[in-house]
């Protein structure tokens, strides 16, 4: 008989699971955790989540839902109450005009992206993906059998994405363009004009636009914009939203899509055969988030703006570091290439590793986001943590 361990090692896993890698961000978290367990005081600037607690009125709604026994299955796509709350919030904030059957909720924005890509991307379909990209886009596309076509952007132009640059990459196999404004990892924000031009170009060529708007409320330009407001181009558009960043609800796991009804129906069908509905209690909490006072969002945004300015000024004061000015989300993406060739550092991975092991500061190397000269720093943390991180970074770089 084959021993169990051998049986597992020869177990034939699918070809598709071999196409993807674990998230680069998670790998850093694991390494930082290992150091912490050894008693090391790590300054963690790697995690992409708000440092704020979920606002009290949202927590109260979840507790009330439990006490009211709202603890059973719901419709797989989410309750009518919640889907209506989503379309109404979006209409109020962005002037869109979605119907209930054009909305679905899933277990986080990542799950929404996964479902949308699964129902739209066939083997060999090309998806235009601007660089730098959030780590999971590439793997989710590849898991569906799609081919990523990378749109290189210019750091000196703030990683700007234009319709002309997109047009140059379009082939007969192009199925989708992925947008993410404000972006993870660079905090880059596309102007409403640039977004509208890309959406128009896509609509003219019958290409889908998948717009990941998980950071749409963390736009610091004063021009919050959702492509979902471009009603005339909605036929080929999927807007993805998330409660995670806007309301400091990363652990609650709730995201949504706004898209044409047939796409939503397909996503709902897929979901009905996998997770079924997202947690009923969380659905009630999210209704409270979307229909309640929005002051908490404005307050958190104001604090991120303050922290953004603090970290950018601190980084720019370090000799050799170049840093674009992020206009949204809560990341900075400094260019650290001036340090290549010093102290055995020749890549972002080397830099991040050295910074973690010798400086005890956790950051994410840029390779996972598709660039070779950057690290990602999350500034969603207390200012004193940023100061400790900056001081350690300064000290380490001065010593190499």
Ligand X SMILES: Cc1ncc(COP(=O)(O)O)c(C=O)c1O
Q: Is 334 in the site for ligand X (CB under 6 A)?
A: no
SS3 call for 141: helix
Contacts with ligand X, 163-202, as mask; x by CB under 6 A: -----------------x---x------------------
Quick one: how many helices (H) and strands (E) in the chain? Answer: 13, 12
Q: How far is the CB of 133 from ligand X (least distance, A)?
A: 9
For ligand X, the closer of residues 65 and 129 by Cβ is 129
Asked if 110 touches ligand X (CB under 6 A), the answer is: yes
Rounded Cα–Cα distance for residues 95 and 88 (Å): 9
CB of 226 to ligand X, least distance (A): 14
Q: Residues 280-309 vs ligand X: string with x where CB under 6 A?
A: ------------------------------
Burial of 269 (0-12, 13-18, 19+ CB in 10 A): middle
| Cis omega (within 30 of 0) for bond into 49 | no
Instruction: Output 90 or 110, the one with its CB closest to ligand X.
Output: 110
CB of 341 to ligand X, least distance (A): 32
**Of 93 and 354, CB closest to ligand X:** 93
Residue 109 touching ligand X (CB under 6 A):
yes
Among 23, 250, 274, 275, binds ligand X (CB under 6 A): 250
CB of 48 or CB of 314, closer to ligand X: 48
Residue 342 phi/psi, 5-degree rounding, is -110, 140
Q: How far is CA 104 from CA 12, 229, 282, 351, in A?
A: 35, 18, 14, 41
Whole-number Å distance between alpha carbons of 144 and 176 = 13
For ligand X, give the closer residue by CB, 214 or 356. 214
Taking the CA atoms of residue 334, residue 46, residue 215 and residue 224 in that order, the dihedral angle to the nearest 10 degrees is -40
DSSP secondary-structure letter at 69? T
Question: How many binding residues for ligand X (CB under 6 A)?
Answer: 13
Choosing from 74, 242, 283, 378, the residue that interacts with ligand X (CB under 6 A) is 242
Considering the complex, what minimum distance in angstroms separates the CB of residue 69 from ligand X?
27
Site for ligand X in 33-62 (CB under 6 A): 48
Selection from 235, 245, 249, 234 nearest residue 182 by Cα: 245
Q: Which residues bind ligand X (CB under 6 A)?
A: 48, 108-110, 134, 180, 184, 212, 214, 242, 244, 250, 255
């Amino acid at each position: 008989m084959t021993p169990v361990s051998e049986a597992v090692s020869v177990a034939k896993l699918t070809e598709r699971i071999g196409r993807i890698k674990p998230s680069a961000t998670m790998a850093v978290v694991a390494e930082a955790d290992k150091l912490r367990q050894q008693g090391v005081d790590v300054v963690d600037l790697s995690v992409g989540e708000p440092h704020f607690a979920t606002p009290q009125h949202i927590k109260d709604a979840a507790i009330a839902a439990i006490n009211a026994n709202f603890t059973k299955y719901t419709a797989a796509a989410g309750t009518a109450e919640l889907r209506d709350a989503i379309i109404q919030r979006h209409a109020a904030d962005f002037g869109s005009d979605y119907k209930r059957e054009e909305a679905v909720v899933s277990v986080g924005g990542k799950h929404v992206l996964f479902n949308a890509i699964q129902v739209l991307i066939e083997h060999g379909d090309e998806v235009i993906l601007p660089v730098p990209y959030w780590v999971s886009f590439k793997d989710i596309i590849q898991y569906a059998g799609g081919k990523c076509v990378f749109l290189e952007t210019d750091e000196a132009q703030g990683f700007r994405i234009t319709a002309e640059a997109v047009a140059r990459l379009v082939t007969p196999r192009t199925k989708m363009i992925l947008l993410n404004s404000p972006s993870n990892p660079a905090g880059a924000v596309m102007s409403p004009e640039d977004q509208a031009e890309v959406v128009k170009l896509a609509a003219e060529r019958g290409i889908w636009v998948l717009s990941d708007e998980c950071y749409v409320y963390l736009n610091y330009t004063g021009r919050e914009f959702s492509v979902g407001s471009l009603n005339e181009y909605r036929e080929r558009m999927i807007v993805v939203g998330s409660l995670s960043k806007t309301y400091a609800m990363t652990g609650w796991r709730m995201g949504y899509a706004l898209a044409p009804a047939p796409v939503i129906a397909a996503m709902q069908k897929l979901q009905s055969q996998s997770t079924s509905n997202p947690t009923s209690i969380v659905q009630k909490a999210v209704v409270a988030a979307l229909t309640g006072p929005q002051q908490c969002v404005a307050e958190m945004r104001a604090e991120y703006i303050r922290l953004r300015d603090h970290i950018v000024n601190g980084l720019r004061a370090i000799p050799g570091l170049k840093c674009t000015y992020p206009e949204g989300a809560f990341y900075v993406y400094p260019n650290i290439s001036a340090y290549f060739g010093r102290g055995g550092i020749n890549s972002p991975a080397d830099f991040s590793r050295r910074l973690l092991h010798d400086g005890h500061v956790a950051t994410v190397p840029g390779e996972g986001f598709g660039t070779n000269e950057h690290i990602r720093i999350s500034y969603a943390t207390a200012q004193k943590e940023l100061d400790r991180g900056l001081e350690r970074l300064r000290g380490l770089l001065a010593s190499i």
